[in-house]
Amino acid sequence: MIIQGQEIFSPVKLKTHTLVIGSGSGGGVAAYHMASAGLDTVVLEEGGYFQARDFNQREEDMMSVLYRSGGNQTTADGLITVFQGSAFGGSTLVNTADATPIEPEVLHHWQRQYGLDQLTEEALAASYERVYTMTNVHRLEDRILNRNNLILVETAKRLGYKAGVFNSNRKGCIGSGYCFTGCAYDAKQGTNLTYLPKASALGARIYTDVRVDRIEPLSGGRYRVHASVLERFNRAVRLPMTVEAERIIMAAGTVHTPAILKRSGLDRGLPQLGRNLSLQPQMVMSASFDKSEAMTSWRGAPQSAYVNEWDDNRPEWGLGGFRMEGAGGLVGLLAQSSKAIGHEHKRIMQEYPNTAYTAILVPDHPTGTMSWDWDDNGRVKPRIDYTPTAEWKQRLINGMKQSAKFMFEAGARRVDFNTAVLPSFTNPDQLSKIDDLPIEPGLMNLVSAHPQGSCRVGLNADVGVVDQNLKLHNLDNIYIVDGSVMPTTASTHTMIPIMVMSDRIMHKLANEG
């Protein structure tokens, strides 16, 4: 049963066995496993319930209702825009459906550096299989690859570089290109179309437009959760809701799960809460080709190919280096984020049809921290402090130079980066100018769709917030299954890694009852 906030007209008091907070990658998987074990399950999701018919493919309408802060959440210094979905299905509703596993080098790093002996390839294998089956993960069909992405694969092949086409969780995709604003064709197999409807059919009660505010411990290891039923669009508080539960599964995402614990006063004995944040920031690059070379980045699967020639496996941090990935599908955002103004901006947008967009993804170190305030309405105001390390900046600069060189090899006439302090590049000899690029707020905008690590797994509370079973170190019967539990960045796209981490423990709990 799915109950939307607008269907609730008086205060609500519920009792359940398991309460899941958040309905994205981690929460959707959890809800399904709990419901399939026959446990009474309630899901509370702050965002609204949207279906295919609601996605009108207009950025100006969809961003404000499907994304946290309308897609305008940034780090405290404004350097990085941090995208998170906030709706039934969480970020899986708005992502580009690239399905990538946690790289073995990363797992090895977690085992070596943090002693996480339960996070092995063998231990996760069954979870991958279950998640891949549920979400229909397969290699993207060639018919939905656009030129913007194909040019990466073709050029890499010619140069002898490592590259590939992404696996994806789609079914019946027509390549409309609108993944970021919700799939109007029910093709993208996010939790909104897979785990959540199945959980609902198995008896889970899923409430949307309901924000969890705090958790109150009761006797006997049980909890009472205090929540607010919200207005759909402005998220003003309408009504109170409480839910008593024997078990709580937190999946409100990397920014909001630790906020709930903090507001509840449950952070005592958890010194790592809100620390060790990775954002895995990306730099967007545009490469203009001759008019005759249509790139059509707004059609087809937006992000469907990658070049992984520059992966760099280092025991001290797992996977380093950088990756080039096709990007596209959000013309408004690309226009807005271009640092050019006036005639120069006009020129860039006139060249949009024959411009290839690429994101340079640079795995980072877990150096960020978070803190939170709450307004009188109980709305959380997160503060994300994140300064990239010097080593990371060096990899970004190298990534920008190599990626630009790559696009010139592909036939680009001009390459631009999302920063006002670099000129347009018209040949590879000019690229040394990138060496001195100051990576500073105000001079550029980086993007992150992969916040991770604010409640990381650790063997004890000195290093982590949850143990290897994803249970809080300081309390029984509270688990965290979202992106916040990653010990360091998964060094790749995070949907499948989070689903798999959640599945491993939720499947186990479901079998234990």
Ligand X SMILES: Cc1cc2nc3c(=O)[nH]c(=O)nc-3n(C[C@H](O)[C@H](O)[C@H](O)COP(=O)(O)OP(=O)(O)OC[C@H]3O[C@@H](n4cnc5c(N)ncnc54)[C@H](O)[C@@H]3O)c2cc1C
Residues that bind ligand SF4 (CB under 6 A): 97, 170, 173-179, 183, 185, 187-188, 301
Residues 6+ apart with CB under 8 A from 329: 96, 177, 178, 179, 180, 297, 298, 302, 303
Least distance CB 165 / ligand X (angstroms): 13
Residue ranges in 275-294 that form contacts with ligand X under rule CB under 6 A: none
**Residues forming a β-bridge with 242:** 13, 226
Binding mask 167-186 for ligand X (x = CB under 6 A): -------------x------
227 versus 305: smaller Cβ distance to ligand SF4: 305
Figure out which of the listed residues 92, 155, 278, 308 binds ligand X, where binding follows CB under 6 A. Answer: 92
Q: Which does 173 bind (CB under 5 to 8 A by kind): ligand X, ligand SF4, none?
A: ligand SF4
Name the minimum Å distance from CB 496 to ligand X.
5
Pair of tokens at residue 248:
């709580």
Residues within window 94-153 making contact with ligand X, judged by CB under 6 A: 94-98
| 506 near ligand X, rule: CB under 6 A | no
Smallest Cα–Cα separation from 29: which of 98, 115, 171, 131? 131
Question: Which of 406-439 are b and which e, b meaning 16 or more Cβ less than 10 Å from the residue's Cβ?
Answer: bbbebebbbbbbbbeebebbeebeebeebeebeb
- Judged by beta carbon distances under 5 to 8 A according to partner kind, the member of ligand X, ligand SF4, none in contact with residue 482 is ligand X
**Phi and psi torsions of 75, nearest 5°:** -65, 165
Stretch 192-211: interaction string toward ligand X, x if CB under 6 A: -------------------x
Range 213-221 contact pairs with CB under 8 angstroms and sequence separation of 24 or more: 213/260, 213/263, 213/378, 214/260, 214/263, 214/264, 214/265, 215/248, 215/260, 215/261, 215/264, 215/266, 215/478, 216/264, 217/266, 217/475, 218/244, 221/246, 221/476, 221/477
Site for ligand X in 410-429 (CB under 6 A): none
Residue 180's binding partner among ligand SF4, ligand X, none (Cβ under 5 to 8 angstroms by kind) is ligand X
249 binds ligand X (CB under 6 A): no
Q: DSSP states of 289-354 as a string?
A: --TTS---TTSS-SS-EEE-TTEEEETTTEEEE-EEEEE-S-HHHHHHH----HHHHHHHHHTGGG
Cβ proximity to ligand SF4, 29 vs 301, nearer residue = 301
For ligand X, the closer CB: 300 or 401: 300
Give the torsion through C-alpha atoms of 348, 351, 447, 77, to 10 deg. Answer: 0
Tell me whether residue 47 or residue 175 sits nearer to ligand SF4 (CB atom): 175
Helix or strand holding residue 111 (H, E) = helix 104-114
Least CB distance to ligand X at residue 159 (A): 25
Query: Which of residues 5, 33, 45, 50 is near ligand X by CB under 6 A?
Result: 45
Query: Exactly one of 19, 20, 30, 87 binds ligand X (CB under 6 A); which one?
Result: 87
Q: From ligand SF4, ligand X, none, which one binds at residue 247 (CB under 5 to 8 Å depending on kind)?
A: none
Shortest Å, Cβ 188 to ligand SF4 = 4
The SS3 of residue 266 is coil
Q: How far is the CB of 172 from ligand SF4 (least distance, A)?
A: 8
**Interface with ligand X (CB under 6 A):** 21-27, 44-47, 83-87, 90-92, 94-98, 180, 211-212, 251-254, 256, 260, 303, 449-450, 482-483, 493-496, 498
